[in-house]
Amino acid sequence: MINYSALEDHELLLLMQKGKETAFKEIYHRYWEKLMATGYYYTRNKEMTEEIVNDVLISLWNKREDPMIRSLPAYLGTAVKYAVFKAILRNRRRQELLQGQGRTEWDQETEDKLDARFLKDFLEGAVEQLPEKAKLVFKYSRDEQLSIAEIAGKMDLSPKSVEYHMTKALKALREYIRKFNSLLGAL
């Protein structure tokens, strides 16, 4: 018999992807309190937070065959934060409609800023999960705006290797964003 509480996150993910409910239950119990704390920090509403955390975890189970999750805490934390802010904006819009007010430009601007902030946080977390060389190539290219030749010199790689790692990083990030969007769509 498997002792699920002794397993690492990646092992639990593999078992969950194979449909093992016990692995999902362990993930649920392992992360429930942390996700509740994260959500409550932003909502200050226990019931809303419980609903959001449950929705995120249920979405995780429903999308269990997704092999893109490399860091369970980063993935779940980002999903909860994003869902919290979406719920807050939804509630704000609902209150405005009840009070007879329409949606204002400020609301759209605020929503756009929140989306941009969480996309940035999400991407930073996704970049951290890339293989080491791909992560370094991506950071040198995007953060330091180095050319392929400069990155090749800095990392002692051929330009073709740098291009390979950049392609690998971009492909992984595109797939990660696609999977994350499908998770959010289920919320």
What are the structural domains, with CATH classification, of the chain?
7-122 (1.10.1740.10), 130-187 (1.10.10.10)
- pTM: predicted TM-score of the whole model, two decimal places: 0.58
The CA–CA distances, whole Å, from 115 to 109, 122, 124, 133, 141 equal: 10, 10, 14, 29, 24
Give me the phi and psi of 18, to 5 degrees please.
Answer: -90, 5
Cα 128 versus chain centre, distance:
12
Say if CB 127 and CB 139 are below 8 A apart. yes
pLDDT in tens, the chain (187 residues): 889 999 999 899 999 989 999 999 999 999 999 999 999 988 888 999 999 999 999 988 988 876 667 778 888 888 898 888 888 877 777 777 777 755 555 566 766 776 677 777 777 777 877 889 999 999 999 988 999 999 999 999 999 999 999 999 999 888 877 766 665 555 5
DSSP output for 61-128: HHTTT-TT---HHHHHHHHHHHHHHHHHHHHHHHHHHHTT----HHHHHHHHHHHHHHHHHHHHHHHH
Give me the phi and psi of 64, to 5 degrees please.
Answer: -60, -25
SS3 70: coil
